[in-house]
Structure 1
């Protein structure tokens, strides 16, 4: 019996250790302690020319919620064009230190759209997005990266309990979504999950009310790790 209890206890410890999320990706961000973030034009790898505008419109709010200062995206676009950067691909290929110096930013956020589609099958329309995110410091060193894929099927959200009424509602909802896919909620959700999710969440920025407490805990945890046993 004692042996069984010991094995069970060890298995609990192993399970707890295994379930603990890996936060090592945060170390470069903790060292950098970013204050301002330059959001450059979104690189588009899909045929919908409106996709970058929708994505770009949702990013500043998501980062402001985390406590970071972001430069106005319209001002950024205008100034980049005055410097000869008209295409997002050119901006993404430009030296990061040059871009950061133009605005006095200490970091740059690059976003690439890999998928932005609305697929219609029978009575269902599924809208899908696939975004890649990358943050570098003012010297071009990568601090963080993430990728997010999401799908949305609005016709599956509600049910009246009446099969015929549900069928008609599904057909109407799917048709509307097919004609005018609602990407903005999906984009906001993708940003929110990336900037706040397990394994990808950004630490709070200096304008967040949790900033001081967060970094106090980071310092305390670091002190515990270096204490001799």
Structure 2
């Protein structure tokens, strides 16, 4: 059973409503493997390995990824889709966590275009209360390797650069680096769109 929504969390052009988040006051967070909607088989593991850091920096206790994965493996669950179907009450019973992060990857990898080749990672996530399944926060983020770049030199030069970048990005696993940026943008703390600071942060309660 997926987490259910608790009221309107985001309206167009407006900030998040943090009322449910403040009432729940979670201290520990369980991060589940992201549901991978892309063709890259490495996307879920790449994102998952970098999602706990921004949450820890925000002031929360985050359950180790290895412990989470091994626990599910011992219970016969190995895919993100199956794991995310675990009822909130069962997750709380097994791990004792206050909240859980459900996430989804929409883009992951190098995309070749006529005049540019960029590595793009796009993901969304929601934080749910494991006591009742209510959604406390949700958001989305994207990052790409071409941010801030300015290619010049004419059409032929741009085509050559795009082709070279596509090969280079594939060889150096650029997607993993970009996934780290996306993970931070997605799960950072601080309004108007980020999570609230956790109890281990000196800024706890300031937001």
TM-score by length of 2: 0.79
Alignment of 1:67-78 (within 5 A): 67-78=59-70
Larger relative helix fraction: 1
In 2, the alpha carbon distance for the partners of 1:171 and 1:135 equals: 39
Shift in CA distance, 58/35, structure 1 to aligned 2, threshold 3 Å: same
Ranges in structure 1 where 5+ consecutive residues have no aligned partner: 1-19, 219-229
* 1:193 equivalenced with 2:165 (yes/no): no
Q: Aligned-residue CA RMSD in angstroms?
A: 2.7
Corresponding residue to 1:54 among 46, 68, 78 = 46
Corresponding residue to 1:175 among 167, 173, 177 = 167
In 2, the alpha carbon distance for the partners of 1:48 and 1:170 equals: 20
Corresponding residue to 2:100 among 96, 108, 113 = 108
Corresponding residue to 1:146 among 120, 139, 154 = 139
Per-residue CA distance 1:11-34 (angstroms, 9 max, x = gap): xxxxxxxxx9634x2111111111
In 2, the alpha carbon distance for the partners of 1:198 and 1:35 equals: 18
Which one scores higher on RCO, CA 8 angstroms, separation ≥ 6?
A: 2
Alignment of 1:88-167 (within 5 A): 88-122=80-114, 124-139=116-131, 140-153=133-146, 157=149
* Regions of 4+ moved over 6 Å: none
Q: May I ask how many residue pairs the two structures share in their alignment?
A: 191
Counterpart residue number, 1:35: 27
Per-residue CA distance 1:97-153 (angstroms, 9 max, x = gap): 101210110101111112213211345211222212011111322111112233322
Computing the radius of gyration from Cα coordinates, the structure with the larger value is: 1
TM-score by length of 1: 0.72
Ranges in structure 2 where 5+ consecutive residues have no aligned partner: 1-12
Structure 1 residue 174: Cα displacement: 3.9
